[in-house]
Structure 1
Amino acid sequence: MPTRRDQTAPAENTVIIGLNACVITVTAETPQVLVVRRDGAAKAPATDALPFGPFEPVHHRTLEIGLRNLVQAQTRVLLGYVEQLYTFGDRGRHVLEPGEGPRVVSVGYLALTRVAADGAASGRWRSVYDFFPWEDWRLARPAMIDAMIRPRLEAWAQGGDNDARWDRACLCFGFDGLHWDEEKVLERYELIYEAGLALETRRDGRALPPSAPAAQDQARFGEAMQFDHRRILATGMGRLRAKLKYRPVVFEVMDAAFTLLDLQRTVEAISGIRLHKQNFRRLVETSGLVERTGKRTDKAGGRPAEQFRFRREVLRERPAPGVKVPLQRSGRN
């Protein structure tokens, strides 16, 4: 039985459950994220956001049903594969100024779809690399890492626990001969944010280190998103890159029939690294992930290429039927 004190609890103690969708597809060899345009907070310009909205327990039997409904309502995109990512509830993540209302705790989801056509006017597709330009290594190590990011992180490391900060930077960005781990998307973004390089750091009113760039230079470190949505997107991309290796999720964004080159380019688009062509084909064919359709296509020009389809029986045959990324990498083949 609620007490009178419970019934009159102040609004600032109220929590609203929100839903956020990180919807990914691949088109034209580019990982695309579904965004909506929302007005910013007071004195802030409109920015891209992930589809989001409140969970309505009266209308939504489950959180996932609520997510699918709100994405379809906002963008007309029907979701395929969906999995829960994380619950985002840090103070200040959604309400940017004191006294604006209750705390919003959002349940983030990763969703995959084959559809990349624009839906409603409020929904559109953007390249993931517009928000994380340092993550695309397919042609070469991005020049901005050594020209822009490293000097700023070196200066930031000098302003605190030098060794710990620099060790963290090296682990995230592969400095000083360390290996680049494509899965550390979130860790790299959080480092960029903490070092004052992200536009969101200044917008959120966080204390900026002396090494932080001027506001006009922060835009060079990727486009900002509303609230903490770039952090949610980083979480989703890191999860997706990791999951490629032990679950066949890549086929959720593939057409029913595809060539092995189509499959390789899709894996490369998501992982951000170029793969060795022959090693990749050998791995895919011997793993039982695909089977021949008996058809060929000449859509890429030149000699017709053999078409394949996902072999669903592999889900019953192996516990972790993912697309392992070959250790040997190369330039474009």
Structure 2
Amino acid sequence: MAGPADQGVRIGLSVVVMALKDRRAVVLTTQAEDGARALPFGPFDPVRDRTFERALRDFVTDQTGFRLGFVEQLYTFGDAGRATPRATPTPDQRREVSVGYLALTPDAAQGQTHDAHWDAVFDFFPWEDRRADNPALHAALVEGLTRWSGADDRRTARARALFALTPDHRWNEERVLERYELLYEARLVAEAWRDVRQTPPEASALLPGAPMGSDHRRILATGLGRLRSKLKYRPVLFDLTPGLFTLSELQAAAEAVSGLTLHKQNFRRGVERTGLVEPTGQLSSTTGGRPAELFRFKGVDPQTGAAPGLSLPAQR
């Protein structure tokens, strides 16, 4: 009888490609076989492919028409029971392991293949956008989590802490994956029902937010959480912005990623303290009002190699 070793392991590569478009954080997606959106994903062939990254770049360009710039490895996803991604469908039950990557680009260019386009990140995670009140979403979230928690104090405490449901809890924008996994556990997202081949009792049992193929919404949550964390200790925001920008545009970019409304004066003071930007002496006439000064990213300090991140002073 064949054992687990005989079943083998299939290795796939997936990538979260994020950009900014119309002051929104967007992610490059393709279409899964069930019609849901999916991250660019492809198999790794150990005979044909020399490196993971080379294989990743080739199939992303083939699937989407988009050429990747800088990429970094994100995480390795190998939990048992993962749905087989559409790029490697087979009738067998081999363990699916996906190596995830994060890529950032300042150019959400059009011209992808017919089923690839840019989707707003918060279409998949509406609860992660804290810039405006959404009473209907908040009510659905509280109702669903309360139903799941029941009389279990540990569940209640976990839900309150992650979603800052009470005044004594502070919202931590970096914990994107933990929040999604809790919602999955509470069966408040479509993937939780799909993965056990069940149908939710009614549509109202699910929170708003578009599902994704396989476990790609989990991978996207990991990528968004990583990016939000890196904002504070590396100048990654400038990988998403054009060469010239106003400070208002830079703040809008930070808000689009963090999902927070930032304090204007404190944000600008923080940018000045880092020494990451310098004025160009040029003015932007696209602000719709008084022309604003254009800045550019100075880059890494050649002497120290220092390149700090940006503080995110949220409005109270």
Partner of 2:68: 79
Distance 2:90 2:180 in 1: 26
Q: 1:156 to 1:316 in 2, by over 3 A?
A: farther
Contact 2:7 2:93 in 1 (8 A): no
1:92-119 deviations in Å (ceiling 9; x for gaps)? 2123999644222000111111221231
Deviation beyond 4 Å, 4+ runs, structure 1: 8-12, 96-99
1:32-89 deviations in Å (ceiling 9; x for gaps)? 011101213xxxxx21100000012334322122111111111111222211111111
Identity in percent: 48
**TM-score by structure 2 length?**
0.91
1:252-290 deviations in Å (ceiling 9; x for gaps)? 110011111110000000000010111111110121110
Matched, 1:310 2:301: no
Give 1:183 deviation, angstroms: 0.7
SS state of the match for residue 81, structure 2?
coil
1:166-186 deviations in Å (ceiling 9; x for gaps)? 111011100121101111111
1:198 to 165, 189, 192: 189
Partner of 2:118: 125
Contact 2:300 2:306 in 1 (8 A): no
1:232-261 deviations in Å (ceiling 9; x for gaps)? 000100010011000111111100111111
Partner of 2:286: 299
Q: 1:272 to 1:280 in 2, by over 3 A?
A: same
SS state of the match for residue 256, structure 1?
coil
Q: 1:81 to 1:219 in 2, by over 3 A?
A: farther
Give 1:154 deviation, angstroms: 1.3
Contact 1:185 1:238 in 2 (8 A): yes
Equivalent AA in structure 2 for residue 205 of structure 1 = V
SS state of the match for residue 120, structure 1?
coil
Give 1:316 deviation, angstroms: 5.2
Matched, 1:248 2:249: no
Show structure 2 runs of 5+ residues with no match: none
Partner of 1:265: 252
Q: Which is further off, 231-240 or 175-184?
A: 175-184
Contact 2:299 2:307 in 1 (8 A): no
SS state of the match for residue 95, structure 1?
coil
Partner of 1:325: 312
Contact 1:291 1:309 in 2 (8 A): yes
1:107-146 deviations in Å (ceiling 9; x for gaps)? 0111111221231112101011111111111123x32453
Partner of 2:176: 185
Instruction: State how many pairs are aligned.
Output: 311
SS state of the match for residue 292, structure 1?
strand
Output the aligned Cα RMSD: 2.4
SS state of the match for residue 241, structure 1?
helix
Equivalent AA in structure 2 for residue 186 of structure 1 = L
Distance 2:300 2:53 in 1: 27
Q: Which is further off, 316-325 or 144-153?
A: 316-325
SS state of the match for residue 20, structure 1?
strand
2:147 to 149, 155, 163: 155
Q: Which is further off, 197-206 or 123-132?
A: 197-206
Distance 1:276 1:322 in 2: 17
SS state of the match for residue 186, structure 1?
helix
Equivalent AA in structure 1 for residue 284 of structure 2 = T
Contact 1:19 1:108 in 2 (8 A): yes
Partner of 1:173: 163
Contact 2:271 2:277 in 1 (8 A): yes
Give 1:300 deviation, angstroms: 1.5
SS state of the match for residue 125, structure 1?
strand
**TM-score by structure 1 length?**
0.87
Q: 1:305 to 1:76 in 2, by over 3 A?
A: same
Q: Which is further off, 28-37 or 80-89?
A: 80-89
Q: Which is further off, 253-262 or 313-322?
A: 313-322
SS state of the match for residue 279, structure 1?
helix
